[in-house]
Structure 1
């Protein structure tokens, strides 16, 4: 309703106009009914079409991954494994001390398929049995997964341009996406008239975008599942759409407040539906202001509880304010309930064993009752249900990347279950560290060192990418981000132990400020290197002491003086460019003249030449480290011919922050 028309109406008519209903707007706007409701619906349809386009781009990788039956269930629900562990039979696979090991693909294939013919006692027919005792039928579904390159590998030049960083957390591609959304919203909002005179269109913009902001804000959102993106990768879209809802709701409400104030009809217009409109406005303002980075970091518990409460209240308040918005409200409610119900099914109440790692600044949480159900690279959200966490700390949920490998078919590495490395940062982290120290004192006195935890997840991860389908992997970590490459390396070696991985080379790079950080992780590094030798995978682990200069030799603790073969400690920052170049060159050398041996029924051992299937680069740590590695991968892929020869270089970034 225009401002001049509102001056000539009665107070009751003004109240009806405030509801921005379709009927009231049509009655005063003549033939603009398409612009009152249909235009905003068409805008949502256009957004849905854009999402469908991105889904079509991700569909080839999704289909390739889902051709493996195990991919339909992995990474969805945490659960207990069978408790059976894989027994390694080193035999001839274990090299002698000081022996030069052959990591070529031919040597790898020869070791992997070392087998003997045995007679089946029931049928009398010969059956091929490998060192782990698996028959041909049992091993058929454990062949190396098919590889589907990402679009960034197919079009590296375009990927480099769209992936260029404009500011921390935003690339050219994401900026163009946000700009397109802003233009669309401004178009549908301004098409209804001058926003300083016509206040109804702004209300429709806010209501029509509620389903969009809800689907982008839920942890288990359908859009992320289809695109193969975790909710944390779509969070910048959630924040941007939320700002538009906040802006539109305030333009709509404050415009009418100003109009009624100068008319002197504010009291007469405060009908129940208008009051509900102000309730929705307050919820939108709370969602915006308490989500600001500064307030969220300082007052996280307040942000969390207010966010959940305001998100729940804003939906019925919007529907009670204007009944025509009910379809949008119901859609948003269904998306929210779907996420909540699925998260209830994903939540596990169990116990954990905390162990303080002061030199690493983390607490190691071991959950032995959960041993499978996640993929390497995924994270879970944890609540520590202990009064030692403070008045509100027991209710806080914090995300942590899983640092262990899930069982596969009952095969666990150490039987520890799910392992988390929780960084001791902030009040919550400090209380968890103190709780872990008290648990150790309790254990020393003969008490139980366990704490109750509520685990929600798993979330995120590599999405539609299958890390085991690449030819090589470069894993980079900074500080407590070591949990990410630990899980990936362990999973790749587990898959390689029964021929379900194409990865031949793994280079793990870890940057630390103190070499003492190596002490608690050294046993796991040693075990990974030993397993790599058994499986024929070339694993290199490089520790870089960032606070030491390259002219000085890093000082190690007495327990780390004798490092296993394959583990090196260097001073300075890691030369990421040369490390990536080295991995690519070694991958090309391995595949240049190598021959993979593939046993075929009735024909003995056939020889089949393979070309490299790409290099996977994973990084976890501070945002600056992630952006440096991502920039390096983009530049390498666009400028180096070797990137195409090796099958492409692709990057996945997991940065600190929540």
Structure 2
């Protein structure tokens, strides 16, 4: 049964891979896209030749390409030319090459799939709840089909070990499944946590049966002296330790403890499981295979080099420049960074933190990271950058040795340059994702490799002074966007203290600063209208190829964007060729049971499933009764939900134990 269930899950994954195969093939049709995003490297930088000129005379002003995400010393005064053309190094008109575009779904399915983006709780969509509900039902079916976990403990044992390879597969940074379907490891992390918790539950149910049996017979100590049982206890302690130290408290307050216990637990649980039950070797080898592949690829993706760090007080972040690595990533990808410096503490080098790359691949400055000062590690990094450094262009800077691992994440099979319009919404330090993506689009557009006709950037910050260090870059981007105008709207949510940092005429056309929060729906409507009005004939004859919306920042911003996209009228959505969302938010790392309120919505979503099970009689009445107690009880708070769940589970176990005891007593009496 367990083997068949595993094959069913693999088959379901294969169906998803086949459905998304056209997008993967489209990615192969764009050489730059599929050859980048795998291995970081250094390539000699060549200053680009002039790519734009007036149709009748050259225009030096338009030929300048941004060579730095800093550009703090240069502000250009420039108005877009109306009659310009792309030219190559020889001055001849550039031959256009547009990347292939494959929509994520057909037009007929847009109306069906659009509601799946709606959020049930912050950062958690209906699609994710449906997926987890189906996965849960499949495993419940495997556990209870012609079996009872309290009379057949081996079923839950095989269920736990059968899901262990999936736990490793979903957790790997170099995720094979993610590469096939075009999703980063962070997008699949919620599956890793969900399946991991089910493994812990199944392992404990398996163990409780034997603990009760041995205790009832008075042979607990003697049974635990057997080598296989002792190793089984080691495996049980490991999985319980993994569960306990993976809760939100440890991940947020003591990340080093969380990651250390994960490493220790995973290293011990596999050999302990084999010594407990050698017949489980195939599943153990599969888990080891996923783990070994991930570690080998992580080693190949690791680089140790020098970096320059300097503080940006206006943004309350640290800028890391790594000139020794200037190629090998796609816009929107991130890297994991370790800093080797005793100035950050004796053990800070152990910590590895992810940061989105803010620069474009192939530039002269290499990798540029903006590290927001939020936790202990980033605060130490910011303080180190401020002290004992050298002065470079009027600011304090410091050189340190870093280990860079990546790149990871990113757009996957999505090609931003294949859409007709692009809208980027960023909150705080999420601007790094938008900067990288927009710079990449501008450069591709100048080379004739982009279909994008409309680019909108919305940046939400708390203080308007956060805009100060990025005004030169924003100005440079607007100046370069000769063929694809860029509009940048910055919103600040707090009143400035003291003198306002900008004069009223400090910005060029296309860059605005306003108080309050953005109206995302209005921005999307504007982008759709501009894309539809320009039509497809301006760029190519394929037609309007849709609107891509990239969002990076707090979960609340991602939820607002998803809500605004869902509110777009179907007619408008079809006019622009469909709307796709790409998220790079903290919600990708969340799991709905981490917070008790997530359990409320998830359990409510199981009501229909529970009712169906009760009517159809697909599983024993006892599990249906337990399901219904979970789903239909009055849920006034998250804590009460957890209490009711635990209470119902113990009542269920207690009732089963009494039934087993009565059966044993009856048999002994006869």
Q: TM over 0.5, yes or no?
A: yes
CA distance in 2, matches of 1:529, 1:161: 35
Tell me the residue number matched to 1:391: 346
CA distance in 2, matches of 1:553, 1:299: 34
The TM-score normalised by the length of structure 2 is 0.81
After the TM superposition, which residues 222-301 of structure 1 pair with which residues of structure 2 at under 5 Å, given as runs?
Answer: 222-270=176-224, 271-301=226-256
What is the deviation of 1:635?
2.4
Q: How big is each residue's C-alpha offset from its partner over 1:396-415, in whole Å with a ceiling of 9 and x where there is no partner?
A: 111111101001xxxx2xx1
Equivalent residues of 1:518, 1:560 under 8 A apart: no
Classify 1:439/1:619 alpha carbon distance in 2 versus 1 (closer, same or farther; 3 Å).
farther
- Please, which moves more after superposition, 331-340 or 349-358? 349-358
CA distance in 1, matches of 2:504, 2:42: 34
Alignment partner of 2:85: what SS? Answer: helix
Classify 1:619/1:447 alpha carbon distance in 2 versus 1 (closer, same or farther; 3 Å).
closer
Classify 1:446/1:173 alpha carbon distance in 2 versus 1 (closer, same or farther; 3 Å).
closer
Alignment partner of 1:303: what SS? Answer: helix
CA distance in 2, matches of 1:224, 1:444: 43
What is the deviation of 1:380?
0.8
Structure 2: gaps (5+ residues): 63-75, 590-670
Select 1:576's aligned residue among 515, 520, 532: 520
Equivalent residues of 2:53, 2:85 under 8 A apart: no
Classify 1:553/1:282 alpha carbon distance in 2 versus 1 (closer, same or farther; 3 Å).
closer
4+ residue segments displaced more than 6 Å? 95-98, 442-448, 552-555
Tell me the residue number matched to 1:119: none
Equivalent residues of 1:595, 1:610 under 8 A apart: no
Tell me the residue number matched to 2:485: 538
How many residue pairs are counted as aligned between the two chains? 569
After the TM superposition, which residues 475-514 of structure 1 pair with which residues of structure 2 at under 5 Å, given as runs?
Answer: 475-514=424-463
CA distance in 2, matches of 1:132, 1:480: 37
CA distance in 2, matches of 1:595, 1:453: 46
What is the deviation of 1:460?
0.8
Equivalent residues of 1:511, 1:546 under 8 A apart: yes
CA distance in 2, matches of 1:302, 1:153: 48
Equivalent residues of 1:515, 1:554 under 8 A apart: no
Equivalent residues of 2:385, 2:396 under 8 A apart: no
Tell me the residue number matched to 2:554: 622
Classify 1:514/1:307 alpha carbon distance in 2 versus 1 (closer, same or farther; 3 Å).
same
Equivalent residues of 2:335, 2:404 under 8 A apart: yes
CA distance in 1, matches of 2:267, 2:78: 64
Q: How big is each residue's C-alpha offset from its partner over 1:380-434, in whole Å with a ceiling of 9 and x where there is no partner?
A: 1111111222233211111111101001xxxx2xx11001111111111111111
Select 2:123's aligned residue among 152, 169, 175: 169
CA distance in 1, matches of 2:294, 2:91: 40
Equivalent residues of 2:386, 2:397 under 8 A apart: no
Equivalent residues of 2:424, 2:458 under 8 A apart: yes
Correspondence 1:132 to 2:89: yes
Tell me the residue number matched to 1:376: 331
Tell me the residue number matched to 2:367: 418
After the TM superposition, which residues 451-600 of structure 1 pair with which residues of structure 2 at under 5 Å, given as runs?
Answer: 451-533=400-482, 536-548=483-495, 556-558=500-502, 562-591=506-535, 594-596=537-539
- Tell me how large the CA RMSD over aligned residues is: 2.5
CA distance in 1, matches of 2:206, 2:177: 29
Q: How big is each residue's C-alpha offset from its partner over 1:218-271, in whole Å with a ceiling of 9 and x where there is no partner?
A: 011111000100011111111000001100111111221121122111222121
Q: How big is each residue's C-alpha offset from its partner over 1:9-47, in whole Å with a ceiling of 9 and x where there is no partner?
A: xxxxxxxxxxxxxxxxxxxxxxxxxxxxxx111111000
After the TM superposition, which residues 269-418 of structure 1 pair with which residues of structure 2 at under 5 Å, given as runs?
Answer: 269-270=223-224, 271-407=226-362, 412=363, 415-418=364-367
What is the deviation of 1:469?
0.5
Tell me the residue number matched to 1:24: none
Select 2:105's aligned residue among 127, 151, 162: 151
Alignment partner of 1:77: what SS? Answer: coil
CA distance in 2, matches of 1:50, 1:181: 11
The TM-score normalised by the length of structure 1 is 0.82
Correspondence 1:645 to 2:575: yes
What is the deviation of 1:90?
5.2
Q: How big is each residue's C-alpha offset from its partner over 1:357-386, in whole Å with a ceiling of 9 and x where there is no partner?
A: 122121111100110100001111111111
